Structure 1
Amino acid sequence: MTEFTNSRLLVTGAGGQLGRLAVEELLARGAQNIVAGSRDISGLADLAARGVEVRHLDFDDPASLASGFAGVDRALIISTLSANRAAHQAAAVTAARAAGISYLAYTSAPNARPNADAAGIADHYWTEQAIAASGLDFTLLRNHIYAEMTVVGAGPILASGQLFDATGGNGRNYVTRADAARTAAGALLSATGKEIVDVTGPSPVTQEELAALYSSVTGKPVTRIGLSGEQLLEALQSAGVPPFMATLLVAFDQDAAAGHHAIVTDTVERYSGRAPQALRDFLLANRAALAA
């Protein structure tokens, strides 16, 4: 497999969790010419001290897009969380092409499509379309739901002993953020051509199984309660979840109900060189966070 260790490699969103992990993986794998782009570079001084070039790169700022992508050979675009991210990310693709970049990797989502009911998932589809239309080589990394979400959302579940979902009893293949970052770095270092890949854990886990995992790892009984999408949306909004995020979470559950999250691939191992971590092992490793 071709290696681009000596190419100038850009990671956008390097100040975020996934972007930071991707830069760390590039360093660990011997990349010689890394550019870390972020709208807030104040937290990247340690990377600069290790030889990483740090650039201000804000998808809201066209001038920073032009300077951020300048002189770069290959780039990893980390998807943002802004409400208008489709337009932001299309502008980033245009800037990358204008800068002469030859390859883009992009962190997308499973079953990206233009349907309005898919909420933020539609933004991934339009970004994928912009990348495909650019004429550049690309890897569209359709990251499945992060295993970290099972820790972030565990507090209310463990406190109430109830796990609500609208997945219809179907599984989802959780992938750790670290595995996703290692995969993205590996693609940036080695991928050629044009491809769309799902980035998954080793096997799907149903919410019934997740409830059982919570119980076995923490010793607290948890029962899974299935809801319709409408019921889940109402519950999330009543709990104070912002409308954009609530709609996105329901869309993810409905995609799981349709079977789109039960996919199993070898993408993580192919690009990272190691098997993805199973959800049970991840929860055991984060037992302290669950108990907090």
Structure 2
Amino acid sequence: MTVAVTAAGGKLGRLVVEALLDAGERPVAIVRDPSRVADLAARGVDVRKASYDDPAALDAALVGVDRVLLISGNEFGKRVAQHTNVLRAAERAGVELLAYTSIPRADHNPMLLAAEHRGTEEVLATATVPTVLLRNGWYWENYDGAAAHAAQSGVLHGAMARGRVSGAARADYAQAAARVLTSAGHEGRVYELGGDEALTGADLASAVAEAKGATVRYEDLTQDDYVAALRAAGLDDQFAAVLADADARIGEGLLEVTTGDLTELLGRRATSAATVFAAAGR
């Protein structure tokens, strides 16, 4: 069985490829720039060049592929069309399974980040190949920069009120994807994936304090004030708005995941926030 991973040069894609290698597979890594994964090629990975905007290149990249992981792109406003290109290429290639990395509750999640995932899932519902949805929750690594700043300032800012976020390490989601790609019985499934910890802002501050050996408290801001704080930290207007919106939706419970799907796929507990924060910067 030949398994392909798109966006294999990115943080998640690389981890999925490595998990597949650890499982004894020889995956196909589909990337825009093969030079970014020269180390993977040296380990026996079949590296193929293609972008989400190039249907012909995608057709060539998926020749002989049995299963494919479509990792969601990062070009906001273009992602549904780009993901559709990958799906149609997978259909033409006759793949037996396509997995897609989505977001929790994508079908009714009002987060700004969810809109293109929802649009992609609607397209996938029309697919002529079997699909599986991996609705990945928050990566604890999303907080790495904030954690480092909070360890110095003593304050972790957010706008999540009393909401909880069920995060896990990026590698946890990668290993779960590798498990789905290399085992049977996943066709048509929707996995709502989140870690075993459901942390409030105060809990996150405590995890940062534990990991960094510092005193850290959580300070909750309004959504508008959080946007301003993120802008002051150097984020552009669009990204600041998206992150602040995500935090506000955490306050509404949109990223608290209680299904246990991730733990079931991993066969173990997900990695704790404190463990991820402690590893950051090493």
The two structures have a TM-score, normalised by structure 2, of: 0.91
Write out aligned runs for 1:6-85 (5 A).
7-31=1-25, 33-83=26-76, 84-85=78-79
Write out aligned runs for 1:188-199 (5 A).
188-190=181-183, 191-199=185-193
Provide the secondary structure at the position in 1 that maps to 2:106: coil
Q: Deviation at 1:222?
A: 1.8
Greater alpha carbon shift after TM alignment, 149-158 vs 176-185 = 149-158
Greater alpha carbon shift after TM alignment, 188-197 vs 17-26 = 188-197
Q: Choose from 130, 133, 144 the match for 1:151.
A: 144
Letter in 2 for 1:30: G
Give yes or no for the alignment of 1:187 onto 2:180: yes
* Residue equivalent to 1:132: 125
Q: Deviation at 1:188?
A: 0.8
Greater alpha carbon shift after TM alignment, 271-280 vs 96-105 = 271-280
Provide the secondary structure at the position in 2 that maps to 1:44: helix
2-structure distance, mates of 1:193, 1:219: 45
Greater alpha carbon shift after TM alignment, 232-241 vs 17-26 = 232-241
Greater alpha carbon shift after TM alignment, 157-166 vs 178-187 = 157-166
2-structure distance, mates of 1:168, 1:53: 46
Q: Choose from 230, 235, 238 the match for 2:232.
A: 238
Q: Structure 1 vs Structure 2: percent identity of aligned residues?
A: 35
2-structure distance, mates of 1:68, 1:102: 15
- Residues 203 and 264, structure 1, Cα contact 8 Å, conserved in 2: no
Give yes or no for the alignment of 1:255 onto 2:255: no
Q: Is there any run of 5+ residues in structure 1 with no aligned partner, and where?
A: 1-6
- Residues 193 and 257, structure 2, Cα contact 8 Å, conserved in 1: no
- Residues 111 and 245, structure 2, Cα contact 8 Å, conserved in 1: yes
1-structure distance, mates of 2:261, 2:126: 24
2-structure distance, mates of 1:254, 1:29: 38
Q: Deviation at 1:255?
A: 2.0
* Residue equivalent to 2:83: 89
CA displacement 1:8-51 (0-9 Å, x = unmatched) = 110001111111111111111122x4211000111323322332
CA displacement 1:178-197 (0-9 Å, x = unmatched) = 10100011111114320111
Greater alpha carbon shift after TM alignment, 240-249 vs 119-128 = 240-249
* Residue equivalent to 2:206: 212
1-structure distance, mates of 2:82, 2:9: 17
1-structure distance, mates of 2:161, 2:268: 32
Q: Deviation at 1:204?
A: 0.2
Q: What is the aligned residue count? A: 280
Greater alpha carbon shift after TM alignment, 131-140 vs 170-179 = 131-140
Q: Choose from 223, 229, 233 the match for 1:229.
A: 223
Letter in 2 for 1:237: R
2-structure distance, mates of 1:110, 1:251: 15
Q: Choose from 157, 165, 188 the match for 1:164.
A: 157
Write out aligned runs for 1:269-280 (5 A).
269-280=263-274
Greater alpha carbon shift after TM alignment, 86-95 vs 234-243 = 234-243
Greater alpha carbon shift after TM alignment, 203-212 vs 214-223 = 214-223
2-structure distance, mates of 1:113, 1:165: 26
Provide the secondary structure at the position in 1 that maps to 2:262: helix
Q: Where do 4+ consecutive residues of structure 1 move more than 4 Å?
A: none
2-structure distance, mates of 1:155, 1:284: 10
CA displacement 1:77-106 (0-9 Å, x = unmatched) = 111111222221122112211221121111
Q: Deviation at 1:113?
A: 4.3
1-structure distance, mates of 2:208, 2:242: 23
Q: Is there any run of 5+ residues in structure 2 with no aligned partner, and where?
A: none
Letter in 2 for 1:66: D
2-structure distance, mates of 1:52, 1:219: 40
